[in-house]
Structure 1
């Protein structure tokens, strides 16, 4: 992502009629919400500039500095717009402090999305000249059409052997859509079933109704007919070695929602609580593993695994002394074996599957799953979470309390 020069920023700051710039004097009141609308609109790039849009915090409508105090907390709050889960798919943006016209200004640079339409709180925002507006049905169609010509991530690739009939319409209309779009958008006329599928990246386009990888995983009737490795293999082993006796096993298949609900039930069934009535006056209920840690690691495995060129499932092996969760595909993008799991280091192999998990409520915000798992393991008295990474897999090891 190319950093804009001071001169380029000044030109945008001074051009009050530009559809590539927006200015806010502070980041207070209703500005955080309007700022997210602006980020969404820049990411959609309806005019087709294929250039970054810029949100200036610390400048008035005329482009003059408002002398806001650009603190680290302000920059962190602005950066949170990327990962708080309200803008989907996740936008590509940078946040920095720049000195323009002799004053500090917070600059948020937003790149056009490869996967429009981008939504903020279930609404598609666009730029019409210097103002923000909600996209109408025709503008939404244009954004869908733009997506065809981009270099897309694998999770939005079409699956040629599948048809729109392989999608569960009832799940899409009754479960997915009401959570993906605001009610007033759903009530608007002019959007066909195919257009709504395309807006959610479930199919390629209204004209080409071939389901995508994300579409089959989200609302497919039998996704594993087309994506063979997209299931979870569970083994409960009575011992500490893989060769020991297996006392429970299951291949958990279906769409993402069904798989996650069933694996959560399976983990709860084996994560039996113990009641301590000796160590204190009141009894305490203890679990071998905190349920929140198990959930977060499983969500991460489903989200970050590779679905391309592999028939390997996610493997959950529960031994007497530990749980090993093996996710196909090594670290991706900005994440390496050296920085894996460090705070603030994230990247997304499957950004559209991330959208699905957020829409169905499994993820509230992005980039916090490992931190949550570590915190809850420590609070429960378990050893620290361990990760083993390679080019082909990420293995998470959760150890029981000694």
Structure 2
């Protein structure tokens, strides 16, 4: 939806408005983030959007005629997802053409769940200026959130008291990661109001919220019986196989998240060497650590905690299946997943971000797909047909029989070249195809090469190694940010 240029012109004319901030700066990210945060908090309770206008003088409202580039608009849009403004506000970014010149405009909708923070601080509009919220401002915003909070994790856990919280985990493990040290130093509030400001305590009922119990509870299952992860390893390819190993990850998430991270890295990943050439090996894994962990974090973040059923983390000979109770939520549905996301547990989602277990929102599934493809696992399979549950399948990295036979032939060719290094090297058909793709796109990634050639990661690595060894290509820069430099042609 286009931003109404008449509204923008009116706000430029009214230089005392608390719904607009004007600036001629194009790279002051902190200033932009603070303004977006203040508009989202809507302390005056206008119920109308606020506008950050870039390219107009703050004192006069006069448009100065900036060149509004696509890069500027992309940088402004990235403020929403860079993790510094939390929870994420609803906003749109556009170039608006006015009679006196162009401006870049960020339209920010008032959040139904304030307070919104930028780098741990709450910013609000105070007349025509912005500032950090005081205690009374924050109380008003918290009351506004409580009056509209609908998510289960934000509801009060009425049977619980402050004694049911592991206070040391909150004070020493979570708070220092949620707020800068100088903010904590100046915070004189008691523990209940500190927890309330983060959604972990409800002062109206003098009890922790469900999120408080889930994150820091001494005995989580006493209040939420299904709040644990059940891991089972079956022998074979079905649940009828013998159980080789099982484990129950139970307790508060401040402890369980780190246990899961270590477990995936040491037990599930299964690093092993494979030959790349006669003289070289490459370490590959059955299941990439980051991708598997991300799928588990998604199940923790999006499950329904009022269910008595745990998250099922089942491992078979050929795959991993992760199932959580609670299907797609809110705006997400089978037609738009995974491009559209919504949060069933907004407070827990924010807590996972604070602790570093999720990064930028709305990118997790895409990165999981890339990591699995690069490792040879293939695409993750999402089962959206279960209604009240959500299941994802992660296949074990493997090669099909055709690839295995081709690799055997490649090994034989490599052995011959090693025995007779003076013999002329000629590219096989798979090598020619890969080389052609590298020539066409010097920035092409392993994931894209795998998509276009339908080859496994390990086989593709062998082909790339052969091209490097015979001087056809050189890799410049890192695996993620570098590019391919072509040194030979097919006729050389």
Whether these two folds match at TM > 0.5 is: yes
- The aligned counterpart of 2:16 is 17
Please give the per-residue CA displacement for 1:351-376, whole angstroms capped at 9, x wherever unaligned.
21111011111122111211221111
Deviation at 1:113, TM superposition (A): 2.2
1:320-339 correspondence runs (5 A): 320-339=317-336
Matches of 2:135 and 2:188, distance apart in 1: 6
- The aligned counterpart of 1:43 is 40
Moved more, 186-195 or 311-320: 186-195
Which one of 382, 389, 409 corresponds to residue 387 of structure 1? 382
Please give the per-residue CA displacement for 1:125-148, whole angstroms capped at 9, x wherever unaligned.
111222221122333233223323
Matches of 2:38 and 2:276, distance apart in 1: 60
Matches of 2:338 and 2:139, distance apart in 1: 39
Matches of 1:69 and 1:350, distance apart in 2: 41
By relative contact order (CA 8 Å, sep 6+), the higher-ranking structure is 1
Which one of 183, 186, 190 corresponds to residue 185 of structure 1? 183
Deviation at 1:71, TM superposition (A): 3.8
Over 4 Å off, 4+ runs: none
Matches of 2:18 and 2:253, distance apart in 1: 38
Deviation at 1:278, TM superposition (A): 7.1
* Alpha-carbon RMSD: 2.1
When the two structures are superposed, what TM-score results if normalisation uses the length of structure 1? 0.91
1:351–1:278 CA distance, 2 compared to 1 (3 A): closer
- The aligned counterpart of 1:370 is 365
1:263 equivalenced with 2:242 (yes/no): no
Deviation at 1:346, TM superposition (A): 2.5
Which one of 99, 107, 110 corresponds to residue 108 of structure 2? 110
* Residues 14, 63 of structure 1: 8 Å contact kept: yes
Matches of 2:206 and 2:278, distance apart in 1: 62
Deviation at 1:198, TM superposition (A): 1.0
Structure of greater Rg: 2
Which runs of no fewer than 5 residues in structure 1 stay unpaired?
none
Deviation at 1:171, TM superposition (A): 0.9
Which one of 205, 214, 217 corresponds to residue 214 of structure 2? 217
Which runs of no fewer than 5 residues in structure 2 stay unpaired?
399-492
Please give the per-residue CA displacement for 1:246-285, whole angstroms capped at 9, x wherever unaligned.
1111221112232222222332313322123574423322
Moved more, 62-71 or 320-329: 62-71
Please give the per-residue CA displacement for 1:113-168, whole angstroms capped at 9, x wherever unaligned.
23222211111111122222112233323322332322432221111121222111
The number of residue pairs the alignment matches comes to 395
Matches of 1:375 and 1:13, distance apart in 2: 45
Please give the per-residue CA displacement for 1:160-211, whole angstroms capped at 9, x wherever unaligned.
1212221111111111111111212211153121211111111123x53221
Matches of 1:189 and 1:238, distance apart in 2: 54
When the two structures are superposed, what TM-score results if normalisation uses the length of structure 2? 0.75
